């Protein structure tokens, strides 16, 4: 048997078809294969298994394969996806291509066609990744745990995609607990995420919206050169959060993409236009929040059921089961940078939702 080279996720409820696909891919390509019989845990398996390619049937128990495709495109836009069906039609093919399927195959699929398609798509995706720079993410919070509450799942998704992550926390949260404890908790959370941490010591509850706050953020931006910045919203009752928002907008004026996350003190004026699916990353978000043990007994909003309920609510505006909301200040997802080889690469893409399209109209 050849040495395994590709990881393939098959989503197929027909046992005979799934066995055929798995056997061909294992024997002819030496693939490592995982088979799912429904779409319930697809996104979690994508995060855990990290496949090179997904093969999905159209008709699945509990979900449509094309809906699965849409969810995959939101969290892993460059993951090759092949849509399969025994009921070929122009409508299916058009919808699959519109939803950015990489290939549309009619069953029964000849073994040679399956092998050739998988090889071609996986190698093309690997070549594209080799040419594409990783995103550099800077998440800014006023206090320890602010970033993890607002975009913990999003940052986990960035980490899974290989993006570099930096967290800037501007105070040590001395008014909300022991500063030394909160410092250690921040370090543990950043380490778990694989992020670099800048932990400043501005006065909790009295962070200014000008210097030294602006200067600190400018210094970190100059050192890390982020392509994406996440920060507090202006629509927030906490004065530190509003101040950090205002300082960030000044300091990040040359950063391509800037978005604001929700906090427990956000007001009803918080108006997100982007909803990032975090299916498969909720466990990681809860793990990050669990690092802040000194706050668990005094902050109800850190309870897992509270966190998951909020993410579940916001998913109604996006896709998937859990989402984190963002107010987009500046978005370079529609800006392209020409490469030397003539190809164009998207600078940043969080996935535009139908709600956002309507809000822009």
Give the pLDDT confidence of 258-312 residue by residue, as tens digits: 999 999 999 999 999 999 999 889 999 999 999 999 998 899 999 999 999 999 9
Mean pLDDT of 328-352: 43
Q: Are residues 235 and 308 in the same domain?
A: yes
Per-residue model confidence (pLDDT) at position 64? 73
Q: Are residues 242 and 340 in the same domain?
A: yes
Q: Is residue 327 part of a domain?
A: yes
Q: Which of 75, 104, 131 is the last residue of a domain?
A: 131
HSE (CB half, 13 Å, CA atoms) of 40? 5
Per-residue model confidence (pLDDT) at position 267? 97
Q: What tens digit of pLDDT does each residue of 204-245 get?
A: 999 999 999 999 999 999 999 999 999 999 999 999 999 999
Q: Which of 80, 102, 131 is the last residue of a domain?
A: 131
Per-residue model confidence (pLDDT) at position 337? 32
Distances (CA, A) of 344 to 135, 201, 337: 15, 42, 6
Residue 360 pLDDT grade (very low, low, confident, very high; cuts 50, 70, 90): very low
Beta-carbon contacts of 58 under 8 Å, excluding residues fewer than 6 positions away, are 64, 65, 66, 83, 84, 85, 87, 92, 96
Percent of the chain residues past pLDDT 90, beyond the cut: 64
Per-residue model confidence (pLDDT) at position 215? 97
Which helix (H) or strand (E) segment holds residue 177: the answer is none
HSE (CB half, 13 Å, CA atoms) of 121? 24
Q: Is residue 2 part of a domain?
A: no
Residue 357 pLDDT grade (very low, low, confident, very high; cuts 50, 70, 90): very low
**What CATH number should be reported for the domain holding residue 69?**
3.40.50.2300
When mean pLDDT is compared across 34-48, 211-225, 228-242, 327-341, the lowest value belongs to 327-341
Q: Are residues 108 and 150 in the same domain?
A: no
Residue 52 pLDDT grade (very low, low, confident, very high; cuts 50, 70, 90): very high
When mean pLDDT is compared across 198-212, 252-266, 342-356, the lowest value belongs to 342-356
Choice between 105 and 269, residue whose per-residue pLDDT is larger: 269
Per-residue model confidence (pLDDT) at position 1? 42
Question: Is residue 2's pLDDT more than 50?
Answer: no
**From CA 329, how far away is CA 312, in angstroms rounded?**
24
Q: Are residues 97 and 61 in the same domain?
A: yes
Most confident of 61-70, 124-133, 259-268, 330-339: 259-268
Q: What is the DSSP pairing of strand 323-330 with strand 274-277?
A: antiparallel
Per-residue model confidence (pLDDT) at position 346? 27
Query: Chain-wide mean pLDDT for the chain?
Result: 86
**From CA 274, how far away is CA 327, in angstroms rounded?**
6
Per-residue model confidence (pLDDT) at position 72? 82
Range of the domain at 262: 136-360
- Alpha carbon of residue 97 to chain centroid: 23
Q: Is residue 1 part of a domain?
A: no
Q: Are residues 124 and 162 in the same domain?
A: no
Q: Are residues 50 and 37 in the same domain?
A: yes
pTM of the complete model: 0.66
**How many domains does one find in the chain?**
2
Q: What is the DSSP pairing of strand 81-85 with strand 228-232?
A: unpaired
Q: Are residues 85 and 98 in the same domain?
A: yes
Per-residue model confidence (pLDDT) at position 60? 82
Q: Are residues 287 and 204 in the same domain?
A: yes
**What CATH number should be reported for the domain holding residue 243?**
3.40.50.10320
Q: Are residues 285 and 194 in the same domain?
A: yes
Mean pLDDT of 46-60: 87
Residue 350 pLDDT grade (very low, low, confident, very high; cuts 50, 70, 90): very low
Q: Are residues 141 and 122 in the same domain?
A: no
Q: Which of 131, 166, 193 is the last residue of a domain?
A: 131
């Amino acid at each position: 048997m050849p040495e395994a080279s590709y990881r393939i996720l098959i989503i197929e409820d027909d046992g005979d078809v799934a066995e055929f696909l798995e056997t061909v891919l294992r024997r002819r390509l030496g693939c490592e294969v995982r088979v799912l019989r429904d779409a319930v845990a697809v996104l979690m398996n994508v995060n855990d298994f990290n496949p090179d390619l997904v093969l999905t049937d159209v008709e699945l128990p509990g979900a449509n394969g094309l809906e699965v495709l849409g969810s995959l495109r939101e969290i892993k836009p460059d993951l090759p996806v092949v849509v399969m069906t025994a009921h070929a039609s122009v409508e299916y093919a058009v919808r699959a291509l519109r939803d950015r399927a990489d290939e549309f195959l009619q069953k029964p699929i000849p073994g040679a066609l399956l092998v050739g398609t998988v090889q071609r798509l996986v190698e093309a995706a690997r070549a594209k990744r080799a040419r594409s720079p990783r995103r550099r993410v800077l998440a800014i919070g006023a206090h320890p745990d602010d970033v993890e509450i607002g975009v913990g799942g999003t940052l986990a998704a960035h980490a899974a995609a290989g993006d570099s992550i930096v967290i800037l926390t501007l105070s040590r949260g001395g008014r909300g607990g022991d500063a030394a404890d909160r410092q250690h908790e921040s370090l543990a959370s950043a380490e778990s995420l694989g992020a670099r941490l800048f932990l400043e010591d501005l006065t909790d509850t009295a962070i200014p919206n000008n210097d030294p706050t602006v200067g600190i953020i400018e210094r970190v931006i100059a050192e890390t050169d982020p392509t994406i910045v996440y920060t507090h919203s202006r629509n927030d009752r906490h004065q530190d959060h509003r101040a950090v928002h205002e300082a960030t907008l000044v300091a990040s004026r040359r950063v391509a993409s800037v978005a604001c996350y929700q906090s427990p003190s956000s007001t009803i004026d918080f108006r997100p236009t982007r909803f990032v699916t975090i299916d498969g990353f909720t466990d990681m978000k809860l793990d990050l929040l669990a690092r802040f043990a000194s706050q668990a007994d005094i902050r109800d909003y850190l309870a897992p059921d509270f966190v998951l309920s909020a993410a579940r609510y916001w998913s109604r505006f996006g896709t998937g089961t859990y989402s984190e909301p963002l107010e987009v200040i500046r978005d370079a997802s529609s800006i392209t940078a020409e490469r030397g080889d003539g190809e164009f690469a998207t600078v940043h893409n969080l996935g535009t939702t139908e709600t956002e399209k309507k809000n822009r109209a």
